[in-house]
Each structure stands twice: as structure tokens, then as C-alpha cells.
Structure 1
């Protein structure tokens, strides 16, 4: 059994632009405003390190560290916080899967959060998964559309 939360959107920009927005300007869209994300390390390759600091409007700070499990350019990015660099086990929350597929000159973007347990999935849903990830995707789309000149 899998414990997935997922959103799927048709973004009005070609895959190349969505990929570039995701990989080159990640901090600008990764979490819904007024939160911000700073990518301290983003080694987009299998086994590569990810270090992110998310900051809230009231001084909140959430540090995330993990690794990329799979990176297929313009197709898929899979990451997890179950490990840190060097494959050191960490307290896992989820595996994140971002898929990019061409669809009539646009991009079918699907973002999935795969959890270890029903409880973790339910907690993520209660934290606002759907509105939060949709708001972040709106921000991603705005960047991709600008890159594509749309």
C-alpha cells in the first residue's frame, strides 16, 4: 500500500521552461508566499545533496536536508529526507516525486508526496498539502510562463 498525496496540473509552458523554472529558480516558487525557501545545496543528480531553509513571515525557520534519488532531465526528480548526504539515515517524512510530461505544447506537471505511514500522510494533508502545493505550483507556473514568453 502507498500513502500518496498528489497534485497534477497542466502548465501553460513547454517542458523545457518548467524544468528550468524548477531547477534554476527553485527558491522562488518552492513554498507558498509569504514563506520563502533558500536552497543552500542543490546537487541535482542521483545521490546528490539537498539542503533547504524555509522561512515564515513570523521568523519561523524549517531546515530540510535530504538526497536526490533520481534525476532524469526534463522528465523526473525524486528526492527524500529519509537520508542525508552519504546515505546516512534520517527521520523520514516523505519521498517527493516531480514528473514533467509534454502535452500539446504545455507541461503535465505532477507532484507527489509519498509517505511511510497513513498517519504521516494524514498529518501532511492536515498541514495543508493541497492548498500549499497548489500555491507553490502557481508560482512555478508563473516563472515557467515568463521563461517561455507567455
Structure 2
């Protein structure tokens, strides 16, 4: 299902789902924001209702704090999170609901992963602002980094 206020990208990653899942969950600081930005994961309680807090650091000393909660976590398949709430279900100024899906492609032992990252916004204005902020370039660069980490993990497992 897609909504009218959605931005999304899909990528075929040359690594099995378990490697992409591990990259996404265990190596987030290596891929989450496009270089030269970097991220630091403060908390990642990867379960429904769990808290997420990440700080993004820019090359000129900028800091962007991201806080939210996980709404749904299906290991190896799907993560849904939002910034509409912070810890303890405290309402926050919502920007989006993020949905990440991981789908196995191919029948061989290694296989590939169809990874989709989606940002669903409350309004057309929020969607358009996110697009203007550089959604395509930024999320594609981060996904390139995710793929590189996942492919490294897959190669190490061989």
C-alpha cells in the first residue's frame, strides 16, 4: 500500500537478507546518513514500542537529533518507525513514518535482497519539503552505503 504523501526508493542489494538485516540493525552508524555526514546511534530498542535516538553530525559542526519509536519490527523482513512519538509515547511534532522492508530475491544460498525504504508524511507540504531537502540524493547515498556494508558482511560470511 502506498499513500499520496510518500517518498520511496527500492534497491536490489547483492547480499542475502540476513546480511542486509545485520547491516541495517548492527552497523547503522556506517550507513545511516550520506557522507560527509556521520551518525551516532544513542539508543536502538528494536522492538514494537522501543525507542530510537540517533544524532547526525555534519561536516561543519551541525548536529541533527532524531528521536522516535518503533511501531513494528519483523526481524529480517520489516521495520516501521516514526518521529510522531518519543519515549513513553509522548507526542512530538511528526515528520514521517519510515518503513524499511527486506525481501529475499533468488533461490541460491546467497541470493539478493530487494530493499525498500519509504517515508510517509502527514501532508503534501511535508512530503514536498522532504523532497526539496534532498530525499532522493540523501536516501540513495545512504542506501549505497547500506549495500556496501551488507556486501562486506556477506563476503566475510563466505
Same fold (TM over 0.5): yes
| 3-state SS of 1:79 partner | strand
- Displacement of 1:37 after TM fit? 0.7
Corresponding residue pairs, total: 150
| 3-state SS of 1:20 partner | helix
Equivalent of residue 124 in structure 2, options 113, 118, 122: 118
- Displacement of 1:7 after TM fit? 0.2
Distance 1:114 1:67 in 2: 15
What is the TM-score of this pair, normalised by structure 2? 0.93
Unaligned runs of 5+ in 2: none
Alignment of 1:20-99 (within 5 A): 20-99=22-101
Distance 2:54 2:5 in 1: 24
Distance 1:126 1:140 in 2: 23
| 3-state SS of 2:33 partner | coil
**Structure 1 runs of 4+ off > 2 angstroms?**
none
Distance 1:80 1:88 in 2: 12
Unaligned runs of 5+ in 1: none
RMSD between aligned alpha carbons?
0.9
- Displacement of 1:2 after TM fit? 3.2
